[in-house]
Structure 1
Amino acid sequence: MSNLRIGVVGVPGKWSTEALADALETSTGFRLVIDMAQVELQLDTGRLLYQGTDLTELDGLVVKKISEVYTPATLDRIELLRRAEQAGVRVFSPCRSLLQLIDRLSGTQSLSGAGIPLPPTRVTESLSAAQTAVEDFGSAVLKPLYSTKARGMTLLDVRDADLKARLEAFAADNPMLYIQKKLDLSGRDLGMVFVGGNYLCTYARVGSGDAWNTTIHSGGRYEAFEPDAALIELGQRAQGCFELDFTTVDIALTDEGPVVFEVSAFGGFRGALEGCGIDAAAAYRDWILHTLEQEQAC
């Protein structure tokens, strides 16, 4: 058994957080689940404290979930973890990688710059330009810059009689309008899982038929899916933009070819387990221990 002390940043009581903490405890005998809302950074002492534990003295920190929902404040939580990195603690995934993916626009820019195929997307603060985008696309999805699991997303159609009013209502809370063409997914999209940059498996999210999106949050379910080599190579290139230790790449298959929706900063384990029968938490645990042992041996 390893004697490494590795904390899990997550949401206490949530399945993925606890599954990863269980897996690490099995191999190390150490268990610490960290709620970032209770962490204190003391710049005067250099300590990063959680319930009496100085996180800068741990061997590693694994960020399973930084917050229940994404907001600009999520970026501040990652800044706190940078103190641990500065003290020499290995953070999985590195803070610089996580910071790129909290704001949807930042992640999209990185993917677009790398030539990754994306759905047609326009970003603007101009309501008139936003209306033109919806008219050009025919049907579009407005996406908040800080959200997960399709929360806060709004479906618009050029035929909506109140299109302008709905755009104005969305802009009241989201002044930077992120507008993406709604694609025909035939009720299914894919989650491609990578550990340490290595391909693990792919599962499909199948919609319930009662919602326009396929998220489990909206009643979808997981199924197995076998991608071809070209699709795996696309996922590999997309996740390679961010140097993440664990991630899920969201991919859709369209009539015009596959497109990447996003690369997740905090990919889940349930899809791999229920869709592919693979224990991704254990696979991630093995990568973490291997990495720490290699780095400490140098």
Structure 2
Amino acid sequence: MTALASPERGGTGGRPGLFRRNEIGPALVAGAVIFCLILVAVLAAPLIAPADPNLPDLMAVRKPPSAANWFGTDAVGRDLLSRILWGGQVSFLVAGVGMVGSICLGTLMGMLRGFGPGWLHPIVDRIIDIQLAFPYVLLGIAITSVVRPSVPVLILLMVLAGWAAVARVVRAIALQERAKDYVKAAEIIGASRLRIAAFHVFPSVWPSLMVLAAMQMAAMIVFEATLSFLGMGVQPPTASWGGIMLDGKNYITTSWWLTLLPGIAIMMTSLSLVLIGDGLEARAERLRSREADK
């Protein structure tokens, strides 16, 4: 029992606490503030959007930003600010579900590689290698050429594009933890592989998963915008950030706001998530160093 609670195990006394006070760096704070502001604005779209995002006004086609329309209007006179706010809801929903799906599938596959039966190990390794070698845009083209693009299809593409990177990280951590004394001690006292993986090793994987979740969310936001911009994502008239940029690409030289402003929304959201991920990673490193010095 002493071995199971040792610092090497990463237990209560040794595992770096993820939410310990006075360990939050400036990158994490800045990223969290920016992300929360964007998220609140997007969620409050029904309250703060100045117009119906799908209501055209042929008398106000491609009007530049002004007091009447802060972000201007698009090619059919729809208010761009309203479309960006409402489109953010779709982009966040699709990217969020895609991120959760990729994290869950990747964690499952990584833990199977670490603690599953031996005959399964090479199969999981080859599946991960194949998925990592397959370009996600090509994967999107292949799938959308068979089925009609839709939100469920887009989420499926995100899960398929993101799970392998998560599985590789989880696999590395699981194999590293499996060689430690606390796992061997648990095996000696008769704990099953499932119990060891779920209750002893997974808590050590969790901090890395939080970093991966932030990074994956940023990647999913860009992925959704890329596929929608290529016409393989959210379909009109539903607004999404990538779809808004697609609508404005033909007017990029004359109506710069149609692509620049949704592009800034994508950039700021991705930047905030990357800052959160970097801040969480730096915080985990500081805590690990502190525990190692004790």
Query: Which TM-score applies when normalising by structure 2?
Result: 0.27
More strand as a share of residues? 1
Larger Rg: 2
Could you say which structure has the greater relative contact order, defined with CA pairs below 8 angstroms and 6 or more residues apart?
A: 2
More helix as a share of residues? 2
Query: Which TM-score applies when normalising by structure 1?
Result: 0.26
